Structure 1
Amino acid sequence: MDRELVTLCSEFLNSETNTTETVIEWRMAELIANEEVQRKIVEEIKETVGER
């Protein structure tokens, strides 16, 4: 029983990680394809962090 529970918990954690990874990959692909959004992000970073 304990071994089965550990296996199930591991599967749940792995599936959550894969879901998060997939969402990040899709968002990055969208950013790469959209130059206007890239420009806005760079401007926001400059306003928040400043030039370095």
Structure 2
Amino acid sequence: MKFQIQDHFGLDVDDVNGKYFENSPWLCSWLILQRYKNYAYKSFINEAVFFKDIKG
């Protein structure tokens, strides 16, 4: 059996709402790097593949 999962590691609207974002300069910088078109920055993609043998 093969399991394959993916996730992106980028900021979205839910991440930037709230006090924590406003008080975190590194999150603000990350959002600018991710969203500013002239930087052409893209979010990280995480991928994991697992294999499991099933006998029986």
Instruction: Tell me which interval the TM-score lies in, with the shorter structure as reference length.
Output: 0.3 to 0.5
TM-score by length of 1: 0.36
TM-score by length of 2: 0.34
Larger radius of gyration: 1
The structure that is helix-richer by fraction is 1
The structure that is strand-richer by fraction is 2
By relative contact order (CA 8 Å, sep 6+), the higher-ranking structure is: 2
